[in-house]
Structure 1
Amino acid sequence: MELGEQLQRLREEKNLSREELAQVMNVSRQAVYKWENNKGYPDIENLIKLSDLYNVTIDELIEGDRSFQKK
């Protein structure tokens, strides 16, 4: 599973809208959209925040996305 799919699934499990997540993360709604559609990736600081918010490890977030791992 690509990172974007994983992020969307986790957000939906928490019953958060993109707007709500953007507010919690202090980013734009467009940034969340890009992450979830694999048009961009969160930086390491935001990956840490996401892993804390979703109660998963960073490894769990990125393990299925080979293209992200290469970056």
Structure 2
Amino acid sequence: MFIVNLGENLKRLRKLNHLTQEEIAERLDVTKQAVYKWENNTCYPDIENLIKVSQLYNVKLDDLLNNEVKEAEKAEFFF
């Protein structure tokens, strides 16, 4: 189920790349609270932010939503 995996994937990718929620929020132009809520499945990013996140971490949107992101995946930041 993507709803569970999405938050876990967001948190895993952020930690793999040694970033804080605040740094992600700044890169995506959202609040730190929004990033926290996404990672804890309290609410979910809109499609525009999902696309930004997939680009930020250089992962396919489908993988971000439907699969467990592998630990080997390390971002090459686009912004």
Same fold (TM over 0.5): yes
TM-score under structure 2 length normalisation:
0.78
Q: Which runs of 4+ in 1 moved over 6 A?
A: none
Q: CA-atom RMSD, angstroms?
A: 1.5
- Structure 2 residues not aligned, in runs of 5+: 68-79
Say which of 9, 13, 17 aligns to 1:14.
17
- Structure 1 residues not aligned, in runs of 5+: 65-71
| Aligned-residue offset at 1:3 | 0.6
* Percent identity between the two aligned chains: 58
Alpha-carbon distance between aligned partners in 1 of 2:5 and 2:58, rounded to the nearest angstrom: 18
Aligned length: 65
Alpha-carbon distance between aligned partners in 2 of 1:8 and 1:34, rounded to the nearest angstrom: 11
**Structure richer in helix, relative to its length:** 1
Alpha-carbon distance between aligned partners in 1 of 2:10 and 2:48, rounded to the nearest angstrom: 15
